[in-house]
Structure 1
Amino acid sequence: MSLPPHPMVATPDEAKAFLDAHPHIQYFEVFFTSMAGVPRGKRLRRHELLPIYEYGRFLPGSILVVDTQGADVEETGLVWEDGDADRVARPVPGTLVPAPWLGDDIGQVMLSLYELDGAPNDIDPRHVLKRVLDRYEADGLTPVVACELEYYLVDIARGVNGELQPASAFNTAETPQGTQVYGLPEIEAHGAFFRQLWETADAQAIPLEGAISEFAPGQVELTLKHKPDALRAADDAVMYKRLAKGVALNLGIEATFMPKPWADRAGSGFHVHISVAGKDGKNLCAADDPSGSPLLHHMIGGMKDHLADCMGILAPGANSFKRFKANSYAPVGLTWGVNNRTVSLRVTAGPAHTRHVEHRVAGADGNPYLVLAAILACAHHGITHKTDPGPAVVGNGYAAAAESGATLPTNWYAAVDYLDKSRTLREYLGDRFVDMYVRVKRTEQARFFEAVGELDYEWYLRNA
């Protein structure tokens, strides 16, 4: 007996059409995204695919709340107290695609978790985002978003002292040196990577655009095209990170979305571009005024007022907070401005009809579903309450933040505490989700800081 249809679930016809069109694909990786943002799943054989579309695939609900390392978090109550009970994973429409970097005979499909009675699981990150988007839909509004991710290409092999190294150039075998922001030779050096990246993105219908060399050796940035479907935009970002890592490994290098791989080099951010369309599809942020429309100001006001509350999601790990440093292009304050990259919320330059805001705070390690959910929740709150963002910063946003004292939480513990106490994010994301997320992060904190590493010995073995 098949499960009842659901608007967020792909139909068996989609699987049948894919199998007919791709008789050579014999294996499929099925995966979902946990709270920690790490894709997890299984590799199945061809005959196992269609039953997922008809009946779903049963997976333990505890997998949603494992930590970044994949370990159980017993504090959530979803392990022993829950009997490690199954939920049913169902396929996401439009995500059944070839996975060329894994082999010509391999495909993939994304899953999302539901309760056994068919209700969406309320702590699945994809469903958390959908609940926020339902608020916009009820008001006749549509968020239009684009995800922009920075990351490093690094060598698999470490240096002579165990240090991380930028990936050697394919054309010269040299290790990149210097900043060379927007340098074309740096893009050409890894031309084979970008060529395969774009080809694979096209094969998966991921709208990946141009590449630039960023602010450090081996750092790159590519943007995903603006979409009036924020849920699909988050799907694209998850799929893109997965394929970037896979394509890089095929070429003997690694793509890392670690937000701060080197202390003395630029961090990697996850910038989100946002506007809102009305029922007629027109951009409600558009205005001749370079600072945008009143609605855009209200969005910025909501995002600015709740920025500290979001930090536990925008910066989800210990390394995340090493990125935030003055004069580093990673923002540190509750600031907004026009055509200004030193602030957290930047109204971009461009024609009046393209007016939107770039949210510059999240790190590349952020879970795309949760990053979008938190940002869009705060923007919607601002629209609903007509929140005034205050005056725009002109000039140095780092100096303005320091002078005003309106700065972001500077450590992981404080950020999770802000989230735990946020009435607004609890209202939008759900009390149960926030409770579970906070328990996962506090468990991660304990596990991370109880580990003893080389830096402990270097600082304290003889000096204590």
Structure 2
Amino acid sequence: MTLPPAASDEALRDQDRATRAALPDLEAIDLLLPDMNGLLRGKRVTADALDKVYRDGVCLPMSLIATDITGNTVEETGLGYDIGDEDRICRPVPGSLRPVPWSPRPMAQLLLSMEDGQGGVFEANPREVLRRVVERFAARGLTPVVAIELEFYLFDRLPDAQGRPQPAINPQTGTRNATTQVYSMEDLDDHRGFIDAVTAACAIQDIPADTAVAEYAPGQFEINLKHRADALRACDEALLLKRTIKAVAQRQELQASFMAKPLVEQAGSGLHVHVSLLDRQGRNVFAGPQDAPAEALKHAIGGLQRSAAETLLLFAPHANSYRRYVLNAFVPLADTWGFNNRTVAMRIPHSDAANTRIEHRVAGADANVYLACAAVLAGMLHGLEHQFDPGPPIVGNAYDQTDNRSPSWRQSIDDFLASDLVATQFGTRFRHIYGQQKRKELRSFETQVTDLDYAWYLRAV
């Protein structure tokens, strides 16, 4: 394929100007700064402030990047009291101005990137982490082509009698689905009102959502995005897709959740990252037949295998993330690879040779999409640089042919903070800030007294 020329920042700013001109009645803009957990923080400004935002940026506390999942500052990162909780200038990401179609009044949204105080981009900003990895591919004459798949649950906005999430009422039957009908067209038809509203909202925002399927549990769905020869844009669109799904669900008095494992007895939700690599002539360096895989493909997989433990925290960032890693749930429990095989971690989907790609299946839907994509690309780059051998592909059930692991949050944090690979690929400051954020969340989580504590111990001991 022929690679389109990369759009310049000025061309992207022109795109933003065209978007603004197409919204003459615009009243307000949401300024969105994705934090390390992938949560959107920022400000809402009136439309007449937009020119100033483009000219001068907007000030936000530096600590926002690394707030914990509950929204509190993590002092151990060094971004809070130690520096007086300083503000940093955040500037618009060129080309990211989009309408907000679910708003009852004319609104737009704009992604922000945080500066470091010296006029450069803050190195621990998740989008910047991904950008630096992509630049290292460019230095080798390679362009990652990325597509994102996101699974999620559609729940009733009200919990059940035990305070836990429950499937939404089927709008056609008036009852809650209790069985798994994977890839059921009837389930898609029953929830047509929600799916069609998401599709329409994506079209208005130029988000290339092209496939929706009913997944492996009642109320679980997957929406896929078209591939992009621009990893940053692919992840921007995945972030906005998540916002869209949640907003449309809320408008329909539902709750959409990207929690990795919301229900004990049902499948977890994943974030699958598809990647191929194009050279300067637009040729896919992974292209090749199954019986003679390209060396570049094997080396990339080998790198993903060797970086797996050190980067797992980026794929499984939360306590709940690790509940997803259970046997026989289409979740990889070893660093396996194979062709057209959903039991492995690195799947090579069925395609013609020219479109050969890696589908990385480790991350949960709760992962920060920029960081998950950065970890996949960094692992691949590590393999290409060192020409690692991944061993033979798995044929058949990978669970029966490998030692299945049960990863833990604590071990993943320790592995991440001790990793030279993470420091080299993402920077020592990012390693420190993200690792300390997760260590603080772990400590806070472990001090909680849960319902299970009461059920097991209150009377028995």
Aligned mates of 1:334, 1:118 — CA distance in 2 = 41
Once the two structures are superposed, residues 228-279 of structure 1 have per-residue CA deviations (whole angstroms, 9 ceiling, x without a partner) of 1001111111111011000111111111000101111000000111110000
Aligned mates of 2:111, 2:211 — CA distance in 1 = 25
Aligned mates of 2:402, 2:407 — CA distance in 1 = 13
Contact 1:128 1:370 in 2 (8 A): yes
Contact 2:35 2:66 in 1 (8 A): yes
Q: Which runs of 5+ in 1 are unaligned?
A: 1-5
Aligned partner of 1:125: which letter?
P
Aligned mates of 1:447, 1:133 — CA distance in 2 = 34
Q: Does 1:452 align with 2:453?
A: no
Contact 2:333 2:399 in 1 (8 A): yes
Aligned mates of 1:422, 1:7 — CA distance in 2 = 35
Aligned mates of 1:373, 1:161 — CA distance in 2 = 39
Aligned partner of 2:123: which letter?
D
Q: Cα gap change, 1:322/1:279 in structure 2, threshold over 3 Å: closer, same or farther?
A: same
Please state how far the C-alpha of 1:207 moved relative to its aligned partner: 0.7
Please state how far the C-alpha of 1:20 moved relative to its aligned partner: 2.5
Partner of 1:432: 429
Contact 1:315 1:363 in 2 (8 A): yes
Aligned mates of 1:148, 1:130 — CA distance in 2 = 20
Partner of 1:335: 336
The percent of aligned pairs where both chains have the same amino acid is 40
Aligned mates of 2:284, 2:420 — CA distance in 1 = 29
Q: Cα gap change, 1:337/1:235 in structure 2, threshold over 3 Å: closer, same or farther?
A: same
SS at match of 2:91: strand
Contact 1:12 1:50 in 2 (8 A): no
Partner of 1:3: none
Aligned mates of 2:294, 2:319 — CA distance in 1 = 37
SS at match of 2:394: coil
Please show how residues 125-136 of structure 1 align to structure 2 within 5 Å.
125-136=126-137
After superposition, the CA RMSD in angstroms is 1.6
Aligned mates of 2:10, 2:331 — CA distance in 1 = 37
Aligned mates of 2:13, 2:138 — CA distance in 1 = 27
Contact 2:325 2:406 in 1 (8 A): no
Aligned mates of 1:236, 1:294 — CA distance in 2 = 31
Aligned mates of 1:328, 1:354 — CA distance in 2 = 27
Q: Which runs of 5+ in 2 are unaligned?
A: 1-6
Please show how residues 332-371 of structure 1 align to structure 2 within 5 Å.
332-371=333-372
Contact 1:334 1:401 in 2 (8 A): no
SS at match of 1:264: coil
Give the number of equivalent residue pairs.
455
SS at match of 1:102: coil
Aligned partner of 1:203: which letter?
I
Q: Does 1:103 align with 2:104?
A: yes
Please show how residues 189-338 of structure 1 align to structure 2 within 5 Å.
189-289=190-290, 292-338=293-339
SS at match of 1:100: coil
Aligned partner of 2:129: which letter?
V
Contact 1:57 1:90 in 2 (8 A): yes
Please show how residues 415-430 of structure 1 align to structure 2 within 5 Å.
415-430=412-427
Aligned mates of 2:292, 2:441 — CA distance in 1 = 40
Please show how residues 7-156 of structure 1 align to structure 2 within 5 Å.
13-156=14-157
Q: Which moved more, 1:218-227 or 1:161-170?
A: 161-170
Partner of 2:4: none
Contact 1:15 1:49 in 2 (8 A): no
Once the two structures are superposed, residues 174-207 of structure 1 have per-residue CA deviations (whole angstroms, 9 ceiling, x without a partner) of 2112110011111111101111101111111111
Runs (4+) of structure 1 exceeding 4 A deviation are 6-16
Q: Cα gap change, 1:209/1:15 in structure 2, threshold over 3 Å: closer, same or farther?
A: closer
Q: Cα gap change, 1:219/1:290 in structure 2, threshold over 3 Å: closer, same or farther?
A: farther
Please state how far the C-alpha of 1:173 moved relative to its aligned partner: 2.0
Contact 1:313 1:370 in 2 (8 A): yes
Aligned mates of 2:347, 2:448 — CA distance in 1 = 38
Aligned mates of 2:454, 2:140 — CA distance in 1 = 57
Contact 2:290 2:339 in 1 (8 A): no
Contact 2:288 2:353 in 1 (8 A): yes
Please state how far the C-alpha of 1:291 moved relative to its aligned partner: 6.4
Contact 1:332 1:398 in 2 (8 A): yes
Q: Cα gap change, 1:446/1:72 in structure 2, threshold over 3 Å: closer, same or farther?
A: same
| TM-score normalised by L of structure 2 | 0.96
SS at match of 1:81: helix
Please state how far the C-alpha of 1:48 moved relative to its aligned partner: 1.3
Aligned mates of 2:458, 2:292 — CA distance in 1 = 54
Aligned mates of 1:428, 1:290 — CA distance in 2 = 32
Contact 1:258 1:364 in 2 (8 A): yes
Q: Cα gap change, 1:291/1:346 in structure 2, threshold over 3 Å: closer, same or farther?
A: farther
| TM-score normalised by L of structure 1 | 0.95
